[in-house]
Amino acid sequence: MEKQNLSAASVLAVGLVLGCFLLAGALTDRHSERVVTVKGLVEKTVRADYVSWPLYFTASASELADAYAKVKASQKLIQDFLLANGLSREDISINQWRVVDQNANEYGNGAGKDRYIIYAGILVSTNKIDQVLDLTMRTAELVEQGIVLSNSTASFRFNGLNAIKPELIAQATKNARASAEQFASDSGSRVGEIARANQGVISILSKGSDMDDPAAPDKTVRVVTTIDYFLKD
């Protein structure tokens, strides 16, 4: 009986030793994994493909009918200016008017001022970027015709990101791999499989800037990927 107990104890001891050995080996393999984290950057210059350009204007008069007539005249002059220079009626919409009666102003009686002021606007929404750029430089022609313009700044956007995103992500990943291979070469290692990958941040910025200025028609699409690679001896 004692021999049987001794034999069983010996088997158990051998099993424990073997289990500890395998566990230690697993931990050793785990800690032997080496990973390098690299970033891949790619930038592409693109042209805006959509522009929104509001043209706000005002007219005033002592009589409401006169103020109305002035606004209608200004509205027609602006529309004719836009249509004669490459835009179509589909590119143009009329904003709602707002009428202010200065005699109703509780902070003053409007003495010495035109009683009625009408605030109006025309909105250009189009993909005709070059035409709008040209027109924004020629608003003085409208002012010369007596139109009072205010806050008429064009806003440019790039909406074609989905069409170029796969290409940019692929290039950013390729650049990240090149960085990992350079690191591995310098450290006497080889690049293995990807351990983790993050598509990263996609930004649309004004060309030559780290910010997006809506008034800038030229944009930079920037993609930064972060990838962890296993390193091999």
- The structural domains of the chain, with segments of one domain joined by +, span 1-32, 34-47+160-232, 50-157
Q: Is 131:87 a contact under the CB 8 Å cutoff?
A: yes
Q: What's this model's pTM, rounded to 2 decimal places?
A: 0.76
Q: Pick the closest to residue 53 from 150, 118, 122 (CA basis).
A: 122
Can you spell out the DSSP letters for 24-72?
HHHHHHHHH-EEEEEEEEEEEEEE--EEEEEEEEEEEESSHHHHHHHHH
CATH number of 34-47+160-232: 3.30.110.170
How many whole angstroms separate alpha carbon 94 and alpha carbon 97? Answer: 9
> Could you please report the per-residue DSSP string of 70-101?
HHHHHHHHHHHHHHTTT--GGGEEEPPPEEEE
Q: Give the pLDDT of residue 108.
A: 56
**pLDDT value at position 1?**
46
Which of these, 200, 202, 204, 232, lies nearest to 216 by C-alpha position? Answer: 204
CB atoms within 10 A of CB 21: 10
pLDDT of 4: 42
**What's residue 32's pLDDT?**
52
Q: Please write the tens of the pLDDT for every residue from 193-202.
A: 999 988 778 9
Q: How far apart are CA 163 and CA 157, in angstroms?
A: 15
Burial class, 217, CB count within 10 angstroms (exposed 0-12 / middle 13-18 / buried 19+): buried
Do residues 120 and 97 lie in contact, with contact meaning Cβ atoms separated by under 8 Å? yes
CATH architecture of the domain formed by 50-157: 2-Layer Sandwich (3.30)
Tokens in use for 45? 């210059």
Closest CA to 202 of 42, 45, 48: 42
The whole-number pLDDT of residue 110 equals 54
DSSP character for 103?
Answer: G
pLDDT value at residue 75: 96
Q: 225: how many CB neighbours lie within 10 A of its CB? A: 24
Where b means 16+ CB within 10 Å and e means fewer, 96-135 reads eeeebeeeeeeeeebeeeebbbbbbbbebebebbebbeeb
Answer whether 122's CB lies under 8 Å from 75's CB: yes
Written as tens digits, the pLDDT of the chain (233 aa) is: 444 443 433 333 333 333 333 333 333 344 457 899 999 999 999 999 999 999 999 999 999 999 999 999 999 999 999 999 999 999 999 999 999 998 887 565 555 578 999 999 999 999 999 999 999 999 999 999 999 898 889 999 999 999 999 999 999 999 999 999 998 898 889 999 999 988 778 999 999 888 999 999 999 999 999 999 999 98
Q: What is the pLDDT of residue 49?
A: 97
